[in-house]
Structure formats: structure tokens, C-alpha cells
Chain A
Amino acid sequence: MSRRVKLAIAALVVAVLIGAFYFPKLRQRVLRMSRPARTEEQTRREVTQPPIATPSDVKAKAKIFWASATAPGTLEPVVLELPLSADPVQRSKQLIITLIADVPSPGQRTLPADVILIEFYTLADGTAVADFSDALATATPSGILSEQMALDSIARTLAANVDSVRRLKVLIHGQEVETLAGHLDLTGFFPLRPETSAPAAPGKAPRGGLTPPAAPGKLDR
């Protein structure tokens, strides 16, 4: 082995050692730089919509549906361990707040960062009513795809984690609105689980049908 080759190998070894020492530090710095924006957003949300904690909270794995990081225009579930209430209403609120606040990356966001879940309640027939602030209508990007992803992310997250909810009604500031942001119809109900029989009349409990996921884009009225 010539002297030049030995020198080259030695230089490479030194470069690898420097890299091994430097890259973890570089990664930490990049992560630290990305953290402040996220923290700022979270701090703001903690003021406008504090996290919900109930006495019955138990850590459980939840599937939250955000936009896919690898397949644009689709949703994919992310499994998180969250403190979730046994009460379906509180549990649903915790899930929706997580869906809005804890997005893994900005590109995976389906609901506007500033949207507030004003109220959430369920009816005896399994209908869930989610009342959001105006930001849902004004800050959701206009378009069939983006609006459908916004609604599907809510519907599929609830369907995957709250057994008692059958269908979803979305209100904006307490009012029924015609569309979300100009395209998606909000006057009907979004079924969270396929029904085994004809849709139930309002006020009547629907029968059977408990297999998720929901049919995307379908609207009951």
C-alpha cells in the first residue's frame, strides 16, 4: 500500500469521525430552530383553546388522520398515545383539538391553525354536532380536495376513536352554512359508519352498522 493511499484512508477516517461528532449536533440545532414556531403556535392555542383534561382520562392509542406526507391529496392515520376521556363528548373534543393543534408537520395540516372548536355535543341517535369558529370557513383553502380532506380528517378521526358516534354535523359559529369554503356541502350529515339499513329519520336511533371507515364524501340528509 503506497503512502498516498494510506494518507487518503487516514483523511477519510478523520472526516468520518468529524461527521459522526458534528452531524448529531447539527441535527439538534435544526430541530431547535424548528421548535420555536411550533411552540409559539401551541402557546397561542393554549390561551384560545386550552387542552381538555377530565378525571376519567386514560392514556390510550388514538388514530389521528392528517394529510399524508408522502402521498399528496390523501389522508393517513398517525397513531399517538393520548390521555383520552371515557366520556364520548370529551373524548371527541380532545381528539379534534389534537387534530388541529398537534400536526406533525405544516404540510400535513388539514384544518386551519386558528380554528377553535367552540362546542361539541352528541344526540341520542348518534349524531355528533361539531361547532367551529369562523376560521374553519374562512381559512380552509378553497377547493373540493382541500375541503374534503378537512372534513374527512375530522370524520375519520372520530370514526376511528369514538364508537358511539354515527354521523357528523358541522356548524360554523352555531349556524348551518351551505358550504365549507365554497364547495363542500355542509347542509347534511357526514356518516361515520356505513349503515346496514336505510338512514334513520332525525331523532331515531339508526340500527346496526359499525364498520369503519366512513365512506368519504358521502352526505346524508
Chain B
Amino acid sequence: MVLAAALLIPARPAQGPQQQPQTPPAPGAPAKPPVTSDQAPAPATPQAAPTPPKPAPGVVVLDPAHGGADAGARGPNAVLESEMVLSLAHAVRAELERQGLRVVQTRQGNENPSFDERSAAANAHRGAIFISLHISSNGPVGTARAYTLAAPATPPARPALPPWDQAQDSFAASSRRLAELVQVQLAQKFRGSPEVPSVAAVRQLRTVAAPAIAIELSSVAVRDRSQLEQMASPLAEAVARAVAAFRQVYEAGAN
């Protein structure tokens, strides 16, 4: 919770190249810099009468979960979540890049960035979309679920500098929309998957200041890993289609 007071991130940035000076951290706070490097905070003056259009998401941050000593879910046939999600991320990345999107991965190999380091990868890019990839320990094999955080009880007022640990609150509606679009595609690709996205308190999503979802495939309990490998291509197609649809919604300002 100390992070909440100490680490502040800019709210959704205004469009335009102007750079505003950033608010210094509170006295005594850890000297961790604000997350954004290429974002401009919301304008301090109320003069900018017309609300600038929301930036279209041009960067997709793919987060293959776990890594390093944290293998995540372990299947009975030596299937490791951390390995499988990395290969799933490569497939999704290729499909998104085919659409002309820029893709950033939170890890390329078997390293294990912290939750905050993964979030920072999204928070550093204007108009990013964050997609965390997981494989469950159980659940119906061959199905997939998209998750978002629950919407906050009271809609946040979009402060200029929302606390780091509540960064996702301002993006609850757009995350939900993205999850809905993804889940529709997943339900078409993977029979038995739910039609609507699920809500879960996924820790990774909380600190992401962008539309953010987690996708979890079921499961590491497959008979052999090829069953999961076969899910890579339809998953990539599903994500790419949903992201394309989401970009249109996002550009229209339907947050």
C-alpha cells in the first residue's frame, strides 16, 4: 500500500506531442520514477476546450506470465505454464504484427519480471493494450477465458495522477469492452468456452494504466503438450480480430 501513495502515474494522456513537467513524488517517497517516458500528463490548464480524441491503441503489450524460477501451473506430463505461454505469445505477436500493430513483450525468454515491471511496459506507451497470457491448472481442456478486474464501486474521477496501485480503475470500462470482444472470439474458436468474460482480482492487471485483460487457456492437465500447441493459432486469430474490433471502438471514444 505504500506504493499507492508513493508511485504515481499520469492518467490517460491527452493527444499531442506536448510534454508537461511531471509532478515530483511526495517527500520521503521512494525515488522510483514515474512510469511514463513518452506520455504527456493531462493538461493542467482547462483552456483546451475541445476534448482531444482518445489515442487509438497502437501498441499491444503481451505478457507471457511467470518465468524464471516461477514456472506457474505444472502439468502431469511436464507441461509448464511459463514455457507454453511464451510460445503462445510468439504466435499472437506474429498475428498482431501482420495487422501492422507494434507488439511489446514483457519477457522474451525465461526471465521473470515483477508485476510492476510488466505493468510498466504498458504504462510507458500511449494508448497501449495489455494482454496477459496464462494456462490454468484445471478447468475444461481446450477452453479459454478472458478476465478483467471488477469495476470500482464508484467510478473514479480520473485524477491527473492516479495512484499506481489503482491504475486500472480508470480503464475498467474499456478493459471490459476488450474482454467482451476477445471472449466472443474465444468462444467461437474454442468450443465450451464461456460467451462472456469473467471477473477476477488478477493481481497483474491492477497496476496497468491501459485497457488490460488476462486470457487463460485450460489447461496444463492435457495428455500431451501438442494439445496446447494446437491452441496457439486459433488463439492468435481470436486476439487479433478482437484487437482490430477494439481499436475501432476505442477510436470512436467508447470507453
Contacts and interface: CB of A to CB of B under 8 A. Distances in A.
Contacts of A185: 201-203, 206
Contacts of A3: none
Chain A, interface residues (CB within 8 Å), range: 20 to 34
A220 B149 CA distance: 11
Interface stretch (B29-37, B103-111, B133-141, B242-250): B133-141
Which of A143, A215, A216, A221 has the largest number of chain B CB atoms within 10 A?
A143
A183 to B, nearest CB: 6
B218 interface: yes
A217 B206 contact: no
Contact of A143 (B73, B198, B201, B203): B73
A198 interface: yes
B199 A142 contact: no
A218 interface: yes
A43 interface: no
A184 B201 contact: yes
A142 B218 CA distance: 12
A188 interface: yes
Contacts, number: 100
A141 interface: yes
Interface stretch (A50-58, A120-128, A144-152): A144-152
Contacts of A72: 138-140
B166 interface: yes
Given A145-B145, A185-B206, A199-B153, A218 B138 contact: no
20 contacts: A72-B138, A72-B139, A73-B139, A73-B143, A143-B72, A148-B198, A183-B202, A183-B203, A183-B204, A184-B202, A185-B201, A198-B154, A215-B199, A216-B198, A216-B200, A217-B150, A217-B200, A217-B201, A218-B201, A219-B201
Given A142-B72, A146-B136, A146-B137, 9 more contacts: A143-B72, A144-B147, A145-B218, A146-B138, A148-B198, A185-B203, A187-B1, A217-B199, A220-B153
Closest 10 CB pairs of A and B: A141-B137, A143-B136, A218-B150, A219-B201, A217-B200, A185-B203, A217-B199, A185-B201, A143-B137, A142-B73
